[in-house]
Amino acid sequence: MNDEPYPSQTPQKSWIGRLGQLLSGEPQDQEDLLEILREAREKHLLGPDALAMIEGVLQVSEMRARDIMIPKVQMVVVPRDADLKTIFPLVLEHGHSRFPVIEEDRSKVVGVLLAKDLLPYALTETNHDIKVEELMRPVSIVPESKRLNVLLKEFRTNRNHLAIVVDEYGTAAGLVTIEDILEEIVGEIEDEHDQEPDEGYIVQRNENEYMVKALTPMEDFDEYFFCDLSSEEYDTVGGFIVTKLGHLPQKGEKVIEGKLRFEVVRADSRRIHWLKLKLLEEEEE
């Protein structure tokens, strides 16, 4: 029988032990904890992706629903009394899985329509006169002050993926999804509806529509479109958009400059990634 101690610990135990030694300094606040974790990364005890997710988790615990919600003016909604045949084009255009159902205007959300509930009616013209209210489901309502970590737990417990955020008067202010919260932790989550060219700064989609990478240098953009948007205030197209709006935009926000209409199609809490550019006709301006 071999009485010698085990020759070595498992990699997992060794990692936990070393991290425990780092934590023995008893951090006094969250910033101290983050500093210790960053030192762990420098010592190769934590990978950069793991650290980024830990930072995201800590950030989410401090954030509230109003910090990441999609404002009501940007919500893609369907009226409660609309016929199914009138909303199919909108559902196909946007490709969302859930649509807030409104009554009168966007300030009053009365339910949520799941795209999958439309499937039985999508391939037949029968029953197209059915109203949206006959298929809508109850919608979760949360206050603007709801902490994201609490909301994420409620999403998981109740199996909800979307909630309407209301202000102090009970009026809809926007919406938040479980994907929005998860993206604060793991970064942008791409799906089949996210439009992103494979390569190049500027990719033409059709005669009047382009996809433009936010990092495109303004000089290159001006040369490509024969315009003069360059300024000492910004170096890239993304910087131009942020300067025009005065804040870091969310997906769906638009900027019109002359005959150019920019729409943010990919962005996270840190920066813009991709823009859709449409060359407007005079009557569209």
pLDDT digits 0-9 by tens, 61-77: 888 898 888 888 778 89
Cβ proximity of 182 and 189 under 8 Å? yes
Q: What is the pLDDT of residues 151-167, one digit of tens each?
A: 999 999 988 899 999 99
Q: Judge whether 256 lies within some domain.
A: yes
Type of residue numbered 111: G
Q: Based on the domain organization, do 87 and 19 belong to the same domain?
A: no
- 105 and 179 co-located in one domain: yes
H helices of the chain, in order, are 11-23, 30-42, 48-60, 65-68, 84-94, 119-122, 148-158, 178-186, 218-225, 237-245
166/218 same-domain check: no
Q: What is the dihedral of CA 66, 67, 73, 76, to 10 degrees?
A: -90
Same domain, 73 and 179: yes
Q: What was the pLDDT predicted at 123?
A: 74
- Tokens 């509930």, located at residue: 117
Per-residue pLDDT reduced to its tens digit, 173-183:
999 999 888 88
Q: Does residue 132 form part of some domain?
A: yes
CA distance 237 to 202: 11
Taking 50 as the pLDDT cut, the residues of the chain under it are 1-13, 192, 195-198, 283, 285
- The rounded Cα 47 to chain-centroid distance in angstroms is 24
Q: Is residue 222 part of a domain?
A: yes
Last residue of a domain, one of 24, 47, 62: 62
Q: Are residues 37 and 129 in the same domain?
A: no
Specify the pTM: 0.57
Choose the final residue of a domain: 20, 46, 62: 62
Q: In whole angstroms, give the CA distance from residue 37 to residue 70.
A: 32
Tokens of 203: 């990719």
Examine the domain organization and report whether 226 and 181 are in the same domain.
no
- The answer on 215 and 266 residing in a single domain is yes
In this predicted structure, what is the pLDDT of residue 11?
Answer: 46
Residue ranges making up the domain that contains 260: 202-284
Residue 101 sits at φ, ψ, to 5 deg, of -105, 125
Q: Structurally, how many domains does the chain consist of?
A: 3
Check whether residue 99 and residue 175 sit in a common domain: yes
Whether 28 is in a domain gets the answer yes
Of 21, 36, 62, the residue at which a domain comes to its end is: 62
Do 74 and 131 reside in the same domain of the chain?
Answer: yes
Whether residue 226 lies inside any domain: the answer is: yes
What pLDDT is stored for residue 13 in this prediction?
46
**Residue 195 domain flag:** no
Give yes or no: residues 53 and 79 share one domain: no
Residue 193 lies in a domain: no
On whether both 53 and 100 belong to a single domain, the answer is: no
Whether residue 191 is contained in a domain is answered as no
> CATH number, domain at 162?
3.10.580.10
Q: Which residue has the tokens 């799906």?
A: 191
CATH code for the domain of 212: 3.30.465.10
d(CA 261, CA 266): 16
Backbone angles phi, psi at 88, to 5 degrees: -55, -45
* Residue 72 and residue 132 share a domain: yes
